[in-house]
Amino acid sequence: MKYGARNTIKAKVKSVKKGDVMSLVKFDSITASEMASVITTESVEGMELKPGDAVQLIIKAIHILPVKE
């Protein structure tokens, strides 16, 4: 998967709170105590995100984009 952001943080999914359209995904990371991202529920389901999954957090502007490896 290609993306334009260059800042990355390794993290694990801490929790997933699904809504009808948007979902809140919280992450535990090594370099930051906790980060969160609001993404579409379709994206959460497409990546099959669940607590304990290892992800890479892509930081671009005000958005945190989880990328499952």
Q: Which comes out higher in pLDDT, residue 63 or 12?
A: 12
38 domain residue, yes or no:
yes
At which residue do the structure tokens 């809504």 appear?
A: 19
22 domain residue, yes or no:
yes
Q: How far is CA 30 from the centre of its chain?
A: 14
Give the integer Cα–Cα distance in Å for 69 and 52. Answer: 13
For residue 24, CA distances in Å to 2, 6, 31 come to 23, 23, 21
pTM over 0.95: no
Residue-wise pLDDT for 32-62, tens only, equals 667 788 899 999 999 999 999 998 887 766 6
Give the largest CA-CA distance in the chain: 32
Confidence of residue 3 (pLDDT cuts 50, 70, 90): low
pLDDT value of position 35: 77
pLDDT value of position 49: 93
1 domain residue, yes or no:
no
Domain count within the chain: 1
Domain that holds residue 33: 7-68
45 domain residue, yes or no:
yes
- CATH number of the domain at 33, please: 2.40.50.100
64 domain residue, yes or no:
yes
Q: Which comes out higher in pLDDT, residue 7 or 42?
A: 42
